[in-house]
């Protein structure tokens, strides 16, 4: 009886070891698949762009050391980035970059993406995956940002707006003919407005967003900090 019990216990232990090893193999395979999807995809192979507009006053409340964006002139919505995306979700990132933005490109881009650190980050993380040169990518980013009409409620607000995420989305829809609620999402940090993200095809026409682009905000009125001084809007 004792021998049988030992054999049963050994079998149970071996089964647990087998299950643990199988789990590790599956997890490693998933991690490799995730890496290929996000970081090692073929350059230029993606479906559409996610154009992310950042509400600068919210960003600057927690990044006061970012002097270019937050130290002087007050901005409203600025361009966070233009991100290649897959319809199935996410998009390529950190592709090999043989070029870097030159001074003239950076200077031009600071008009709508007012941080050298952000310009460099967006090129290395997203822009290099488009297959464009830095000059071409940031020219595209400029056109994408200019193509979005910022609603009047955000142009030069004198008092804090009492808007929900749905209200913010509807304001953008009303200001931009052809846009509907399948083409954008609003993101928040807790109950504070962070970004409005708009989906565009490779020719910068509005399109329905792919998987995973969803509004991420609590219900009810959001906290929307005011810009200091004037704002730069379209």
What CATH number did the domain enclosing 149 receive?
3.90.730.10
Q: Do 32 and 116 lie in a common domain?
A: no
Q: Is the model's pTM score more than 0.85?
A: no
The residues carrying an active-site annotation are: 80, 122, 126
Q: Do 173 and 89 lie in a common domain?
A: yes
Q: Do 30 and 75 lie in a common domain?
A: no
Q: Do 155 and 63 lie in a common domain?
A: yes
Query: In this structure, is residue 123 part of a structural domain?
Result: yes
Residues of the chain with pLDDT > 90, as a percent, come to 66
Q: What is the 3-state secondary structure (H, E, C) of the chain?
A: CHHHHHHHHHHHHHHHHHHHHHHHHHHHHHHHHHHHHHCCCCCCCCCEEEEEEEEHHHHHHHCCCCHHHHCCCCCCEEEEEEEEECCCCCCCCCCCCCCCCCHHHHHHHCCCCCCHHHHHHHHHHCHHHHCCCHHHHHHHHHHHHHCCCCCHHHCCCCCCCCCCHHHHHHHHHHHCCCCCCCCEEEEEECCEEEEEEEEECCCCCECCCCCCCCCECCCCCCECCCCCCCCCCC
Q: Do 23 and 84 lie in a common domain?
A: no
Q: Do 120 and 31 lie in a common domain?
A: no
Q: Do 22 and 60 lie in a common domain?
A: no
Residues of the chain with pLDDT > 70, as a percent, come to 77
pLDDT (tens digit per residue) in 208-218: 999 999 999 99
Query: In this structure, is residue 96 part of a structural domain?
Result: yes
Q: Do 77 and 6 lie in a common domain?
A: no
Query: In this structure, is residue 193 part of a structural domain?
Result: yes
Query: In this structure, is residue 176 part of a structural domain?
Result: yes
Query: In this structure, is residue 119 part of a structural domain?
Result: yes
pLDDT at 93 (0 to 100): 96
Q: Do 88 and 137 lie in a common domain?
A: yes
Q: Do 105 and 67 lie in a common domain?
A: yes
Q: Do 71 and 184 lie in a common domain?
A: yes
The number of domains in the chain is 2
The whole-chain average pLDDT of the chain stands at: 84
Query: In this structure, is residue 74 part of a structural domain?
Result: yes
pLDDT at 9 (0 to 100): 58
- Give the pLDDT mean for 116-143: 97
Query: In this structure, is residue 182 part of a structural domain?
Result: yes
Query: In this structure, is residue 168 part of a structural domain?
Result: yes
pLDDT (tens digit per residue) in 23-64: 443 344 443 434 344 445 579 999 999 999 999 999 998 887
Q: Do 54 and 147 lie in a common domain?
A: yes
Range of the domain at 7: 1-38
- Give the pLDDT mean for 53-79: 88
């Amino acid at each position: 009886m004792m021998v049988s019990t030992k054999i049963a216990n050994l079998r149970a232990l071996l089964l647990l070891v087998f299950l643990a090893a199988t789990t590790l193999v599956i997890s490693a395979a998933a991690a490799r698949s995730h890496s290929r999807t996000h970081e090692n995809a073929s350059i230029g192979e993606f479906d559409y762009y996610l154009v992310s507009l950042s509400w600068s006053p919210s960003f600057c409340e927690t990044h006061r050391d970012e002097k270019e964006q937050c130290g002087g002139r007050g901005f409203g919505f600025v361009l966070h980035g233009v991100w290649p995306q897959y319809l199935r979700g996410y998009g390529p990132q950190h592709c090999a970059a043989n070029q870097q933005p030159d001074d003239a490109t950076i200077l031009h881009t600071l008009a709508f993406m007012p941080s050298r650190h952000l310009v460099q980050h967006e090129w290395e993380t997203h822009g290099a995956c488009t297959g464009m040169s830095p000059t071409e990518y940031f020219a595209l980013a400029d056109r994408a940002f200019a193509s979005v009409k910022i609603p009047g409620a955000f142009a030069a607000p004198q008092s804090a707006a009492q808007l929900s995420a749905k209200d913010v989305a509807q304001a953008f829809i009303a200001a931009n003919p052809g846009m509907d609620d399948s083409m954008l999402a609003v993101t928040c940090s807790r109950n504070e407005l962070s970004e409005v993200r708009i989906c565009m095809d490779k020719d910068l026409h509005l399109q329905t967003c792919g998987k995973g682009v969803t509004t991420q905000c609590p219900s009810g009125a959001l906290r929307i900090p005011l810009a200091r001084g004037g704002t730069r809007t379209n």
